Amino acid sequence: MTHTLAAFSRQVHDILLADPGPLGRERVRTLLEDVVKDQRFADEHLGDDQPQRRLLYQDPDLGFAILGHVFHEARRTQPHDHGSSWAIYGQVAGETTMDGWEIVEPATEATPGKVRLHDSSTLTPGTARVYNEREIHSPRREGAAKLIRIEGNPNQAGPRIVWEPA
Ligand SMILES: [Fe+2]
């Protein structure tokens, strides 16, 4: 099935309007798995010459954002959460290994919080995964990759919180 950004963003809007909780997000994840398999959508919105992070759409009503990511080389990110926002990662090309972390020591004003590795899973092309509020995660890539990511409400979530492996 082919998708357009306009139709995709309207579908995400309608799903989240009906159910903004985890069940609605699961339905968005299923839809995103279909979109990331659409080569024409990828060619249009995730070209090789595009920046690493590009805002494709932000919903004026519900606040969610659809982002396109084009990574040209291997990259590791520190464990982090997105405060009170959630995120859905959909893999278009390449692979992303996602580490999930649990809290060992909460952050204080002076020191970052400490976390311990909890699980790892690999996102392959055509798959998507939901991270709910305050789930600590860190993506890593051994080579080039393309993703579409949906953020729940980036404007109200506050800053991204970074953690340190214990
Ligand atoms: Fe993240």
What's residue 74's pLDDT? 92
> Residue 161: pLDDT band by 50, 70, 90 thresholds?
confident
pLDDT digits (tens, 9 = 90+) for 72-124: 999 898 999 888 889 999 999 999 999 999 999 998 888 889 999 999 999 99
3-class DSSP state of 104: strand
Q: How many whole angstroms from 80 Cα to the centroid of ligand 1? A: 6
Q: Measured in angstroms, how far is the CA atom of residue 109 from the centroid of ligand 1?
A: 22
Distance in Å, CA 88 to ligand 1 centroid: 9
Residue 27 has pLDDT above 80, yes or no: yes
Q: Between helices 22-35 and 5-18, what is the axis angle to 10°?
A: 160
Ligand 1 center to 138 CA (angstroms): 7
* pLDDT at residue 36 in the model: 98
State how far the Cα of 68 lies from the Cα of 148, in Å rounded to an integer.
Answer: 5
- Class of domain 5-165 (CATH, top level): mainly beta
CB-side neighbour CA atoms (13 Å) of 146 = 21
Q: Where are the domains of the chain?
A: 5-165
